[in-house]
Chain A
Amino acid sequence: MIVFNVLLIVLLIVCAIAVERTKDLLSALIIFGAYSAIMALLWLLLNAPDIAMTEAAVGAGVTTILFVGVLSKTRRNED
């Protein structure tokens, strides 16, 4: 179980760095959704199912869709 935890946290850090490094904003959004999904799994492993539920619905679902909606009104590439 500890191996799984460490794997998830390493994946979380990799996702967080990748969001910042990616130039294409749509790809960054998708990686950000993956970050939220991993975070929801971690909340579940920390015995907080209600936070996990909220994180999965808001973080991975609604926030990504709202960002994509805003992105469709602006430019897709950074700088």
Chain B
Amino acid sequence: MDDLIVKVISKIIIPFMQVFGIFVIMHGHLSPGGGFAGGSILGASLILLTLAFGLKEAKRKMPHTISKIVETGAILLIVSLGLFGILSGYNFLTNGEAGFHLGRTGEIISAGFIPIATLAIGLKVGSTLITLFHTIIEED
């Protein structure tokens, strides 16, 4: 894994992949895509980083502690979104009636908790993929 061409091309291509992944996640309620697609694009970019620069460099960029916190935090975020609905007197995971900002159709900040939920799902999927890959290729 010490190829100059792969390293240079990855250096150019990884930022574009990550920006595209974040675009797909943040526009999950406006355009095709959503949490799962964007999160897997983010995870694929981090896997490309690991393949090009080795496990040590990738662990320096994305340590296990951060991905652990992101993984558990995303699930807690989703469950707390649901509990917000219960606290305001509706069912678990109620969107509009529970007081989330619905906004105008077509804007980025609209549609209640859908952008927050897509963000949480995307972070969860991306961190799961990268943790799985690092765990599998780790030498024992």
Q: Scan A49-70; emit 1 where CB is below 8 A from any B CB, else 0.
A: 1100110011001100110011
Residues of B within 8 A of A50 (CB): 32-34, 37
Enumerate chain B interface residues (CB-CB to A < 8 A). Answer: 24, 32-34, 36-37, 40-41, 43-44, 47, 51, 129, 132-133, 136-137
- Beyond A49-B32, A57-B44, A61-B44, whether A66 also contacts B133 by CB under 8 A is yes
Per the CB 8 Å criterion, the residue count for chain A at the interface is 14
DSSP majority for the B interface?
helix
Instruction: Give the distance to chain A from B22, nearest Cβ to Cβ, in Å.
Output: 14
Enumerate chain A interface residues (CB-CB to B < 8 A). Answer: 49-50, 53-54, 57-58, 61-62, 65-66, 69-70, 72-73
Q: How far is the CA of A69 from the CA of B47 in the complex (A)?
A: 11
Q: Name the residue on A nearest B50 (C-beta).
A: A65
